[in-house]
Every structure is written in C-alpha cells, then in structure tokens.
Amino acid sequence: MRSDRVKKGLDRAPARALMYGAGVPKSSMDRPHIGICSSFTDLIPGHTGMRDLERFIDKGVHTGGGHGFIFCVPGICDGISMGHSGMHYSLPSRDAIADMIECVVEAHALDGVVFLSNCDKITPGMLMAAARLNVPSVIVTAGPMLGGSWRMKRRSFITDSFEAMAQCRAGKISAEEMEGLEMNACPGQGACQGLFTANTMACLTEAMGMSLPGCGTGIAGSGNKRRIAFESGVQICELVRQDIKPRDIMNEKAFNNAVKMDLALGGSTNTTLHLPAIAYEAGVALNLDTFDKFSKSTPHITSINPGGEFYMEDVDAAGGIPAFQKRLKPLLEDNITVSGSTIYEIADKARIFDEDIVRPLDNPYHKEGGIAVLKGNIAPSGCVVKQSAVNDDMLVFSGKAKVFDSEEAAMAAIHADKIANGDVVVIRYEGPKGGPGMREMLAPTAAIMGMGLNKVALITDGRFSGGTRGPCIGHISPEAAEGGMIALVEDGDVININIPERGIGLAVSEDELRRRQARWVKPEPKVKHGYLLKYAKGVSSAADGAIFKRD
C-alpha cells in the first residue's frame, strides 16, 4: 500500500508514534489509510450538513476495512461573494483546492480518498486533484437544497433573491415582499435548487462515473444521502484493493459522456471551464469545440430552473442521473465507474418516473444541447452561451454596445436606468487575467431580467453563474487584458449575435480596428499583491479552461 511508506519498518517508528498520538490504533497499521477530504464550513448552506456526512463516510470506510482520516479544504460561496471584490477569489480557489489536496495526500501517503464536496469551485477542484494524483477516489456531493416556499408558491435562490432585488429597486414589489422572499428562498442545507454550477457539476461527476449512482441529485440532509455517503466509504476500500484509479475511469469516454449529459440537462456554462481543467489533469484533450460538436447532436431533454420549471428535487424523484443515462444510452459510451457497474449497466437498471422531466430523445425541449459555442471577430478563440435559457426571439440579435470596464460600472449604469432594450451591454477586463479571477456576472444579468429588459444582450470576458438566463454570452476569448478584440469595442458599435449559426461579430471595419489597436494601452494590473497576483500571472485563457499549464 502507498501508506506503507509512512507506517512500515523501523525507520517509520517516529511516524507511527505521531499517528498513535493522534489516536490511531495499532491494528490500523495494517489497514488502508483513507483520506476523507471534507469541505465543511458554516459559511455555505451547501456545506453546513457535512459533519453528518463525514461521520457516515467514516463508518463506511471502517466497515470496508480501512481507517479514515478527515482533513479539510476551504470553500467559497459564489452567492455570498457575488457582486463585490470577493468574487475575484471564487474561480482561483478551484486551483488552490487542488494544490492543497495534493500536498496532504502526497505528504501522508494516503491509499485512497473520499472527497466530500458540493458547491461551485470545490467539486471541480477536488476532481482536478483526483485526476492529478491518480489515487483511488470517490466523490460524494452533499446534495441539492429543497425548494423554498413563500405565499404558497415554491421559491428558488436566483429568481427570488437576485432577480427580486431588481424588482424591489424598480418598485415592482414591496420591501416587505422582498424580506419574505430572502427569508424563504433558501430553506436549509444544500446546493441552490436549480441547475446552477454546483448541481451541474454534481450531476456530471456522477455521469463521469466518479460518484455512486444517485449521488448527483440525492437531496441534502436526506437518509438517502447518508446511505450514499456510507456506501462510498465502503467502496473506496474496494477500489484500493482492486487498484482502480481515477484515470482508469476519467478517460476520453467519460468526458464525452459528461459533456453530452451537460448538454442534455442544460447545465451551467461554467462547465466549459471546469471539464477542460479536469481533463487536463487527467491527460485527456478537451476543448470548446467538443462542446459545440456534441451540442448539435445531443438534444436538451429537460427543463430545470433557472431556465425551466423543474427543481433538482423533481429531477431526483424522476429517477436522477441514471434515468438520463437510460434516455441517452444511444449517445453514451460504456465505461467503468467507481460503483463497480458500467455506465450501460446503470442505464439498464434505471427507471424513469416522469416523461416530462426526462423526455425521450425524439421529443426534446430543444433539438440542440443547452450550451452553444460562438466564434467571430470579437471572439476568435470562442465564447459560450446557455442557449437553452434564451428566448427564441433573442437567438438572433443586433444591438448597440454600451461598454463598461468593470462589473461595478455596469451595475451603476443599470441602476441609473441607462440601459435600454436594444442595447448590448459589454463588460470587459473581467477575464481570468484581467479580473483577475473571472468574476461571475450574475448581479448584472439578474438586474436586467428583474427590470424587465428582455431585449438586452450582455457579453463579457468574465463568466456567468449557472443561475443566469437570457442572451448572456461569456468567456469572450482572447480577453481584454490580453489585447483581445473586446478591448477595442466602443459605445455605439453594432454587435451582431446569431446563436443558431454560432456567430458573434463586431460590425466595425478592419481599418478602424487597426487604428484602435494602435491606440490601445495595456492597463495596469488591478491587483498587485497576494494570491490573485500569482494567479493572474500564471492562468491561461478561458478557452483552455483557465488552467495553469505545466508545459
């Protein structure tokens, strides 16, 4: 076992003495040493229930014949950090989490790891670490939150807080109504109720085969989630015995399956950052072109909040990810999973309990997948849009640019009623390097939707929350800070968007663009100290997944 390097032989007597000091019994020196990497924190509702799940994982590890060791990594709540300088740290935390896990697992020579995750950047950070370390691993996502309730109507976080905030500011709802919504939109533990980034990544982790069946949609705080946690602890010991490692599972077939599941569900555009980053660590080539290729042949077969009507609790009741694997089986590739069953075996055993939540392939909500990749002179390396959340009358749109060099400047203009239907809001210098950290633009998009501006598009070199809906196009690459075309846009320029044709273009002559390029001056870095400075110097383009390349 890997752990023999810290527990066997005369030379390891000091290490054993320290482990005995931590309470490890002598009998456990012959057991696999299993890390339980928890992201428990009181700061995030998606993670507040993890102390309970840690206990059930540890019980499972002991039952399976191992000895569990809990260690922790931090977590950031995108909803709480949204709309201010804290959001600079969200995406960078993904890579910090992967690095911290590498340090602990390698330093303590752990034989296997159960990763306990839930929210936006923590799950991909843990998957990146699993792929990089290639030590037997299982992911347990803590589960989605149940829907809230206010005035006998089911409520959700994005619609009933971010968008309601704009309605309150516009006088469409009262302060009393706003308080009622904010008190009831998030009723307890779990990841926000819709197919935002956290729940999207939980579903795709299961679709890749790195979680047990049912884990991706199993409700937070439920007995079912406890059982999944326990069985994951048992199963990690079996994976160690069989020497089944993450890269045995996370191969090209697994990533193709994950992308197709993402498109069928209509998941968050953040997956176009996270799946390529995980694939990079696994040694698998994955880029934006893969998303677009599969989008044209993978139908969108459900309608989940925020772009649709169903909540994650509905998806779970309808059969969860196995039900979607059953539907998508003709499009998926068979592959092994951490459960011991293959993708096809899981699909064959699955049951579909609602034909509207999990529609047949020949009766989809949309013929194409949820995400589209656009290219054009303003984004030669590509940009992404959640096309399943765009109204049909905005799939093709031309408008005049209103340009802002930060999210704060855009929000000030929106609040001052300076944005009108027919505009294309351009928010730049918010990319991985320029932000730094590629902040989510949920606050501007929610404000626009809440104010009823349904004929406004927004483009940015930043990114969007999984809760964003409408014609919002992110990840414009190259970004403004690298001299990308988005840095040259001026107020009044016409921007043409054609999602069905996968096009986006700035209607300005080449001669004029050359003149603007000659005048452009690279701006001073916004941050000149700390982790964000280091991040900005090393991070790659959003088109690559905003990763730290080793070559």
**What is the CB neighbour count within 10 angstroms for residue 522?**
11
Which residue ranges make up the annotated binding site for Mg(2+)?
78, 120-121, 440
Rounded Cα gap, residues 37 and 25, in angstroms: 21
Whose CA is closest to 314, among 358, 256, 275, 249?
A: 358
CA angle (497 as vertex; 492, 503 as ends), nearest 5: 130
Given 465, 477, 540, 541, which residue is catalytic? 465
Residue that the structure tokens 């040493």 belong to: 33
Secondary structure of 57-101 as H, E, C letters: HHHHHHHHCCEEEEEECCCCCHHHHCCCHHHHHHHHHHHHHHHHH
Contact assessment for residue 138 and residue 61, using Cβ atoms and an 8 Å cutoff:
no
**What is the CB neighbour count within 10 angstroms for residue 377?**
15
Rounded Cα gap, residues 250 and 135, in angstroms: 12
Q: What is the pLDDT of residue 467?
A: 67
CATH superfamily for 372-544 is: IlvD/EDD C-terminal domain-like (3.50.30.80)
Phi first, then psi: give them for residue 266, nearest 5 degrees: 80, 45
Per-position b or e across 35-50, b if 16+ CB within 10 A of its CB: bbbbbbbeebbbbbbb
CA angle (93 as vertex; 336, 82 as ends), nearest 5: 115
Q: What is the pLDDT of residue 450?
A: 80
Q: Where are the domains of the chain?
A: 3-8+27-145+188-349, 372-544
**What is the CB neighbour count within 10 angstroms for residue 83?**
21
Architecture of domain 3-8+27-145+188-349: 3-Layer(aba) Sandwich (3.40)
Whose CA is closest to 136, among 236, 29, 228, 256?
A: 236
Q: What is the pLDDT of residue 405?
A: 96
> Per-residue confidence of the chain (551 residues) as pLDDT tens digits?
999 999 999 999 999 999 999 999 999 999 999 999 999 999 999 999 999 999 999 999 999 999 999 999 999 999 899 888 999 999 999 999 999 999 999 999 999 999 999 999 999 999 999 999 999 999 999 999 999 999 999 999 888 888 888 889 889 999 999 999 999 999 999 999 999 999 999 999 999 999 999 999 999 999 999 999 999 999 999 999 999 999 999 999 999 999 999 999 999 999 999 999 999 999 999 999 999 999 999 999 999 998 899 999 999 999 999 999 999 999 999 999 999 999 999 999 999 999 999 999 999 999 999 999 999 999 999 999 999 889 999 999 999 999 999 999 999 999 999 999 999 999 999 999 999 999 998 889 888 888 888 899 999 999 987 767 788 999 999 999 999 999 999 999 999 999 999 999 999 999 999 999 999 999 999 998 999 999 999 999 999 999 998 87
**What is the CB neighbour count within 10 angstroms for residue 501?**
12
478: which DSSP letter? S
Rounded Cα gap, residues 48 and 542, in angstroms: 31
Which residue ranges make up the annotated binding site?
78, 120-121, 440
Per-position b or e across 173-210, b if 16+ CB within 10 A of its CB: beeebbebbbebbbbebbbbbbbbbbbbbbbbbbbbbb
For the record, the structure tokens of 244 come out as 């089944």
Phi first, then psi: give them for residue 397, nearest 5 degrees: -155, 140
Annotated catalytic residue 85: no
CA angle (466 as vertex; 464, 468 as ends), nearest 5: 60
**What is the CB neighbour count within 10 angstroms for residue 70?**
18
Whose CA is closest to 329, among 298, 303, 355, 304?
A: 298
